[in-house]
Amino acid sequence: QVQLQESGPGLVKPSETLSLTCGVSGYSISSGYYWGWIRQPPGKGLEWVGSIFHTGTTYYNSSLKSQVTISVDTSKNQISLRLKSVTAADAAVYFCVRHRYYYFMDVWGKGTTVAVS
């Protein structure tokens, strides 16, 4: 059974960089699928942040593209998210997800809460 586990600091200061990691178990990242991030501000809806393939190919939400970097480490079977110059608007629960290229998300992590203050 595929499981995704997000981890990272729960609090980031404004203007600094948010860094999160998603560890994948039960499936090898190199076997296929895209792996991505979706965020949900408190009390609000879902926003796709970006996604990556095991080769390193990425695609990002155009509204966040200048701020976001997603990377993959196949040796550790994990992906990472870096979001620079954060503001209060970046406070959210960040979910790690699995999906096929341009397809729906079929596996979700439990999410990790990030506050900006």
Partner 1 sequence: EIVLTQSPGTLSLFPGERATLSCRASQTVTNSYLAWYQQKPGQAPRLLIHGASSRATGIPDRFSGSGSGTDFTLTISRLEPEDFAIYYCQHYGTSSYSFGQGTKLE
The dihedral formed by the CA atoms of 63, 104, 8 and 56, expressed in degrees to the nearest 10: -80
Extract the tokens encoding 22. Answer: 């998603």
DSSP state of 87: -
Residue 45 engages partner 1 in binding (rule: CB under 8 A): yes
Residue 105 engages partner 1 in binding (rule: CB under 8 A): yes
Which of 21, 47, 80, 84: binder of partner 1 (CB under 8 A)? 47
Comparing CB distances to partner 1, the nearer of 58 and 78 is: 58
Extract the tokens encoding 100. Answer: 């096929």
Sign of dihedral through CA atoms 79, 32, 5, 47? positive
Which of 52, 109, 114, 116: binder of partner 1 (CB under 8 A)? 109
Site string for partner 1, 13-32 (x = CB under 8 A): --------------------
| Gap between the Cα atoms of 34 and 103, Å rounded | 9
Residue 42 engages partner 1 in binding (rule: CB under 8 A): no
Which of 8, 21, 48, 84: binder of partner 1 (CB under 8 A)? 48
